[in-house]
Amino acid sequence: QVQLVESGGGLVQAGGSLRLSCAGPGRTFTGYTVGWFRQAPGKERHFVAAINWRNGNTHYADSVKGRFTISRDNTKNTVYLQMNSLKPEDTAVYYCARAKYYITDMRGPYDVDSWGQGTQVTVSS
């Protein structure tokens, strides 16, 4: 496991935007799939988006397609989640995640080998 550090959460009105960042030490993400999950109070942790560090391929949960964009900066070893057109149902703690090395299509918590500490996103109506 490696230490992942998220930032960028906060309170925003519906329709607004936030950008989350997640950084790891050294070449933490090289060769891995990296992404985001979220967990609302009393609910399970769900997949949001992921990016393959090798080729930049991305995939998203249906609930965020067209609104959220995941990207990476190789030079900073940082992954981003740009969240636009936010809705109250997007309110959750968002977790950065690195997949197990052989996983290219990260979809569930069982695919993850390292988690960040989480950052709260609250969308008011």
| Structure token digits, residue 74 | 């190789």
| Structure token digits, residue 56 | 């930049």
CA-based end-to-end distance of the chain: 37
Q: What is the pLDDT along the chain (125 residues), one digit of tens a residue?
A: 889 999 999 999 999 999 999 999 888 999 999 999 999 999 999 999 999 999 999 999 999 999 999 999 999 999 999 999 999 999 999 999 999 999 999 999 999 999 999 999 999 99
CA distance 8 to 53: 21
